[in-house]
Amino acid sequence: MKTANLISMIDSIDTFKRYGRVTRVIGLMIESRGPESSIGDLCYIHVGLKRKRIIPAEVVGFRDSFVLLMPYTDIQDISPGCLVEATGESLQIKVGSALIGKVLDPLGLPMDESPLPKGLTPAPTDQSPPNPMKRPPIEEEIEVGIRVIDSTLTVGKGQRIGIFAGSGVGKSTLMGMIARNSEADINVIGLIGERGREVREFIERDLGEEGLKKSVVVCATSDQPALMRLKGAYTATAVAEYYRDQGYNVMMMMDSVTRVAMAQREIGLAIGEPPTTKGYTPSVFAILPKLLERTGMNDKGSITAFYTVLVDGDDMNEPIADAVRGILDGHLVLDRALANKGHYPAINVLKSVSRVMNNIVSKEHRKAAERLRDLLSTYINSEDLINIGAYKRGSSKEIDEAIRFYPRIISFLKQETDENIRKSDSISTLIQLFEN
C-alpha cells in the first residue's frame, strides 16, 4: 500500500470517543442526552455499580435534542446518568463457510455459547437490495423435493414465495421438508418470534441432522426485545446474501414475516409513530419491501426465499398478508380444512400461485398442471351436490371426468413428511396421471 494511502487512512480515523447520559426510560425506549450519532448506529450503555456490564442498543430516533435508543437485551440495571458510548457504526455480524451447521442469535453469535469460528468476514446486517438492472431474469427451475410444489407450483431459482397459513397448519413441517429435500447448496433459516420450546423441536425433528449439515439457523425467540426480533430477520438475510455473493444457490426460509412486522410495530409505536391499519405503523410497510427485495438473483448467485406469513384468523386479506403477497413472486396457501382431513402438505393448489412457473416449465408440463387445476376446481365447485347425491352421472361430461380423476389427484398431492420425491419423477407422474 502506498504511503499516501496510509496517511489518508490515518487522517480519516476518528480518534475521539463520544458519550452521552441516560435521562429516562419509558417502556423499552431509552432516552439520553447525547452522544452524537445517526439513525441505526450501535451504542453501548454502561450500567451497574456492583455488577458492571454493557447493554448494546441502537439509535432509532430523536426527540428534540435527545437520542432515542432501543436495547438489544433486557434493560435491567439502567439508571439515570448511565454512560452511553457511541460506536459510530451500525451492527455488523461475522459470516463465512464455518458457520454452516451453526445456530446463531440475532447478533450472529452461536446459541450454544461456543466461540465463533476463525476466518470469518464482517458484514453489515442492513444492506440495500441488488440493483434491478443487475438482476438476471429467472429462467431455471429449482427442485424442492415436494411433489405438489415441483409439479403444480414450480419454483424458479431466485424466486421469492410466501407461505400463508394460520397457526398449527404445518408451516414448520413444510419448511423442514424443503430444507432437507431441496437441491440448493446452502439453507439459511430465520426463526423469528418463535416459542423457545419450538426452536430445538424444529432443529431436531423438522430440520433433522441431514438438514442441519447444510444450514445456518438464526433464531430470535418471542421473549426477546422487539429490536432483537427485527435484527434476527436482517441477520438471516445478511448471512444468505454473503453466500449468494460467493456464487452459491441459497435457499432461505423465514418464519415468520408477520412477527417481523409486529416487532417493527412495537418499535414504531415506542418512538411515537401513529398507528394505522390494525395498529401497524407506516414504518412497517416501509421496511417490508426493503427486507424482502434483498433476496432473489444477483449477478453472482441466487437466493430462493420462502417467507411464512401467519394470517390472523385465516384472513388472507389482513394488512401484512396483503402487503407481502403484493411484493413476492408467488404464494402457497396452507388450508386448515385440508389439514383437518389429514391431507399433508396442506397446500390449497387452487388458491396458490407461482408467478414465474409459466416462463420456466415445458409446454407439456404446463398443460398437465392446468388440467389438474381445472379438474380439481370442477370437483370442488360441485362437491356439495356430489356428496348429498343430488348430482346424476351423465349430466355433465366435465363433472363426470372430475369425479373419475379426483381420487388420483388427491393421492398425487399428498406426501409423507419423510418422503423425498425427485422433481423429474413428480413431473412424469403428473403427465401420466391423465393418460388413461
Model pLDDT for residues 220-248, shown as the tens digit of each residue: 998 898 999 999 999 999 999 999 999 99
pLDDT of residue 2: 64
**Of 111, 59, 314, residue with least CA distance to 221:** 111
Q: Which of 307, 341, 358 is the last residue of a domain?
A: 358
Q: Are residues 33 and 56 in the same domain?
A: yes
DSSP 68: E
Is the sign of the CA dihedral 12, 17, 23, 27 positive or negative? positive
On whether both 203 and 325 belong to a single domain, the answer is: yes
| Cell numbers found for residue 251 | 435457499
* Lowest-pLDDT range of 136-140, 282-286, 407-411, 432-436: 432-436
Whether residue 163 sits in one domain with residue 268:
yes
Check whether 313 has a pLDDT greater than 70.
no
Whether residues 236 and 299 share a domain: the answer is yes
Within a domain: residue 1?
no
- Report how far residue 151's alpha carbon sits from residue 427's, in angstroms, rounded to the nearest whole number: 5
Model-level pTM?
A: 0.90
Check: CB of residue 296 under 8 Å from CB of residue 161: no
For range 147-174, the mean pLDDT: 91
Q: Which domain holds residue 400?
A: 364-433
Provide the residue type at 335 as one letter: D
pLDDT band at residue 384 under the 50/70/90 scheme: confident
Banded pLDDT at 158 (limits 50, 70, 90): very high
* Assigned domain for 3 exists: no
Q: How far apart are CA 88 and CA 374, in angstroms?
A: 59
Torsion over CA: 407, 413, 415, 419 (sign): positive
If asked whether residues 53 and 104 sit together in one domain, one would say: no
Question: The domain spanning residue 43 has which CATH number?
Answer: 2.40.10.170
pLDDT by residue (tens digit) across 60-112?
989 888 999 999 888 888 888 999 999 988 889 999 999 999 999 999 999 98
Q: What is the mean pLDDT of residues 343-349?
A: 93
Q: Where do the DSSP E strands lie in 222-362?
A: 249-255, 296-297, 302-310, 330-333, 353-354
Give the torsion through C-alpha atoms of 308, 313, 318, 319, to 10 deg. Answer: -60
* Predicted confidence (pLDDT) at residue 50 exceeds the cutoff of 70: no
Judgement on whether residues 224 and 287 belong to the same structural domain of the protein: yes
- Average pLDDT value for residue range 28-54: 87
Residue 325 and residue 300 share a domain: yes
Same domain, 312 and 405: no
Q: What is the CATH number of the domain that holds 420?
A: 1.20.1270.330
Given 311, 333, 358, the domain boundary residue is 358
Based on the fold, state whether residues 317 and 216 are members of the same structural domain.
Answer: yes
3-state SS of 173-189?
HHHHHHHHHCCCCEEEE
| 291-301 average pLDDT score | 93
Q: Assign 3-class secondary structure to 238-274.
A: HHHHHHHHCCCEEEEEEECHHHHHHHHHHHHHHCCCC
326 plus 188 within the same structural domain: yes
d(CA 236, CA 218): 6
pLDDT of residue 159: 95
Does 338 fall in a domain?
yes
* Domains in the chain, number: 3
Q: Express as a percent the part of the chain with pLDDT over 90.
A: 55
DSSP assignment, residue 295? S
Angle, vertex CA 381, rays to CA 366 and CA 413, nearest 5: 45
Residues 42, 90: contact at Cβ < 8 Å? yes
Helix (H) or strand (E) segment spanning residue 32: strand 29-33
Task: Judge if 177 and 197 occupy the same domain.
Answer: yes
- Report the pLDDT averaged over residues 271-288: 89
End-to-end C-alpha distance for the chain, whole angstroms:
73
Distance separating alpha carbons of residues 189 and 192, to the nearest angstrom = 10
Q: What's the farthest any 2 CA atoms get from each other in the chain?
A: 91
Q: Supply 401's cell numbers.
A: 371426468
Cell of 271: 418512538
Distance between alpha carbon 109 and the CA centroid of its chain, in Å? Answer: 19
Q: Do residues 117 and 84 share a domain?
A: no
State the average pLDDT for the chain. Answer: 89
Q: At residue 9, does pLDDT exceed 80?
A: no
Using the predicted structure, report yes or no on whether residue 189 has a pLDDT greater than 90: yes
CB 230 within 8 A of CB 299: no
Q: From start to end of 271-424, where are the E strands?
A: 296-297, 302-310, 330-333, 353-354
In a domain, 421, yes or no: yes
Of the candidates 33, 58, 90, which is a domain's last residue? 90
